[in-house]
Amino acid sequence: MLISRWLVVLSVVFAIAAEARADDIWHTTLKTIQFAATAKASFKAGCDPANPISRTPSSLVLCPKLDAIPDSVIEEAALPYLKQHISEKNAQDAIAFWSSDRGKALTKKILLEIEQGVYKHLDADDLRVLASVNRTRYGRALKAFAADTQQNRAVARAMLSYEP
């Protein structure tokens, strides 16, 4: 009887550990693609006082605290939607590319373009690589995730409701 209880306890512990490891792949994906930084960058231009958007009610709430919002707030809001769009295998492939030197260099340029609203950082070779990446399974999955309006709303709500 004691052995069977231990087996049940061990199986529950292993199941919880396996689920935590599976979640790690999606958390790692969000961190590797710098999802939170991208989300923040997408709002930066709207926070510029010269931009009329900066005077909208949501911008008046979001802009003063934008830089203080922890990445974890944004990532937790996005996580369920990422899981809907990308398989574990595709997540591994995305991590492999976006954590490479080439992927990191592209991410840096993409973030600059989004944040500044100036599209001059990516050169022709960068755009060819991005087009190639976007045709892969993981690229198409990430594109669907990024275009998911429910994900966008969830992330925006999380950012707006965050209290520093």
pLDDT in tens, 114-149: 988 889 999 999 999 999 999 999 999 999 999 999
Residue 2 forms part of a structural domain: no
Helix (H) or strand (E) holding 33: none
Distance of alpha carbon 50 from its chain centroid, rounded? 28
Q: Residue 23 above 80 pLDDT? A: no
Residue 10 forms part of a structural domain: no
**pTM of this structure:** 0.83
The SS3 of residue 34 is coil
- Vertex 29, ends 151 and 34: CA angle to 5°? 75
Instruction: Give residue 51's domain range.
Output: 23-161
Identify the pLDDT of residue 4.
53
Q: Please tell me the total count of domains within the chain.
A: 1
